[in-house]
Amino acid sequence: MRVLFALIIGIILGAAGLWYLNTQHGANSQIQNAANQVQSAAKSAGDAIQEKLRVLDLRTNDFKDELARTGKIVRRKASEAGQALADATADARLTAAIKAKLLSNRELSALSISVNTTGGIVTLSGTVPTPEAISKAMLLAMETEGVQEVISTLQVKPKS
């Protein structure tokens, strides 16, 4: 039940984040791109959760059949599925928070910087106009609560 509740909360937070990003002053292309990245991260998290639920036999149809046969449901390692859900939603939240910070910073282009998060480890990739921009992007990511480590593969590519 906790897993289902956490999944619903994650979907609601993702939808609220997308709504927020899409309603910001005309929803320009940078905001749309960030929303797409957040949506992609949420979809990846949802896919991982669905696979974990399948592996652990935590699907609704399994419950109905088992209740009809035995009158009870017993599962082991359910905490592992809950942890997978928590990790996936935390990573999606971190990615969205960092993208939002990049969007609000006029010196950095959210279109040029890709943000990927796995297990609290953030990877920044893409291009920036100056070495100082790499520092600023890494600082924005490091200042986000929940980030454990930031890896940058950003390349300096001056604007022409």
Predicted structure pTM score: 0.51
Over residues 76-115, the pLDDT tens digits come to 555 555 666 667 788 889 999 999 999 988 888 888 999 9
Over residues 60-81, the pLDDT tens digits come to 666 677 667 777 665 555 555 5
Q: Cβ(107)–Cβ(135) under 8 Å? A: no
Over residues 37-54, the pLDDT tens digits come to 777 777 777 777 777 666
Q: Cβ(20)–Cβ(98) under 8 Å? A: no
Q: Residue 83 belongs to what domain range?
A: 2-156
Length of the chain equals 160
Residue 27 has pLDDT above 60, yes or no: no
* Maximal CA-CA distance, the chain: 70
pLDDT band for position 123 (cuts 50, 70, 90): very high
Identify the bridge partners of residue 116 per DSSP, sorted by sequence position. 123
Residue 150 has pLDDT above 60, yes or no: yes
State both tokens at 105. Answer: 């910073």
| Domain count within the chain | 1
Give me the helices (H) in the chain, please.
2-22, 29-55, 60-70, 78-104, 131-142
Residue 152 has pLDDT above 80, yes or no: yes
Running DSSP on this structure, what letter comes out for residue 117? E
Q: Cβ(30)–Cβ(111) under 8 Å? A: yes
Running DSSP on this structure, what letter comes out for residue 157? -
Q: Write the CB contacts of 41 (distance below 8 Å, at least 6 apart in sequence).
A: 91, 92, 95, 96, 117
Query: Whole-number mean pLDDT of the chain?
Result: 77
Instruction: Using DSSP, state whether 9 is helix, strand or coil.
Output: helix
Residue closest to 89 by CA, chosen among 44, 155, 57, 34: 44
* Per-residue model confidence (pLDDT) at position 40: 76
